[in-house]
Amino acid sequence: MRYFLLIVVMATLLFVGCDDRGTENPKMYVTAESEYGNFVYNKVGFNEMTFHFQLDGPNSKLIERKINVNNSNDMGSFIGTGSSLFVITDENGYAEGRFFARDGYGIANLEFVLDDWQSENVTFSIPIFDFPAIDSLVATTYTLDADGISSTGISAYISSENIDFGNSDNQIKILFEAAQGELTQTISTVDVLGIASSNFIAPNQPANVKVKAKLDLYPAIYKSITIKCE
């Protein structure tokens, strides 16, 4: 009889040791990233943020679990596991989704709730910045002596509806180009007033030189001026 009880106890311990169902609820961890850090822009190609979902807990509670997505203020679209409303975890308790901002700007609020254990929920607030524009490019003077020495200041004026240019996390850069002559800075960070600056030095032969200021984020956005060197 003692041997029988011993076998029963051992079998029970073995079963409990192998049974991973447990009573512990899984924990949900959510991280997000974009090319720019913790924000996105409101321009297609620059408006994507990737979300990573990871459940931690008993194996039986990780697989094919539904995480609901609440896009409360509808400032963008969320794409999950074939739906904008949820993602489904894989055999490792992992899932992935993407958020795409619309053309507005402000804060997008997303809430993620583990369907079977709704106490597990995470809220994200995503800053959406108005994509910067180059309003104008100006020079102190538009006529120089073609002596290889004369120079003029060049300033690009940048605008955005909600970017704080004084915040180091939101720094915008401008690329300056000139077909002839020289530029003292070919790349310049926009200052707190929304201005990026350089100096143009005339070539040593007559020319009408086109100077461009391009948005480093998207060089297809640019302004240009012509400096007459004679």
Tell me the backbone φ, ψ of residue 205, rounded to 5 degrees: -145, 150
Say if 18-129 and 133-229 have the same CATH topology. yes
| 160: pLDDT strictly greater than 60 | yes
Of 11-20, 118-127, 140-149, 210-219, the least confident:
11-20
Pick the CATH number of 18-129 from 3.30.420.10, 3.40.120.10, 2.60.40.10, 3.40.50.300: 2.60.40.10
Tell me: the pLDDT tens digits for 53-92? Answer: 999 999 999 999 999 999 988 899 999 987 889 999 999 9
- The three-state secondary structure class of 74 is coil
pLDDT of residue 15: 39
Q: Where are the domains of the chain?
A: 18-129, 133-229
At 22, is the pLDDT very low, low, confident or very high (cuts 50, 70, 90)? low
DSSP 149-163: --EEEEEEEEE-SS-
For residues 67 and 56, give the distance between their C-alpha atoms in angstroms, rounded to a whole number. 14
Q: pLDDT averaged over the chain? A: 90
Tell me: the pLDDT tens digits for 81-108? Answer: 878 899 999 999 999 999 999 999 999 9
Residue 61: exposed, middle, or buried by beta-carbon count in 10 A (0-12, 13-18, 19+)?
buried
pLDDT of residue 23: 59
133-229 has which fold?
Immunoglobulin-like (2.60.40)
pLDDT of residue 24: 83
Give the rounded distance of the alpha carbon of 140 from its chain centre. Answer: 36
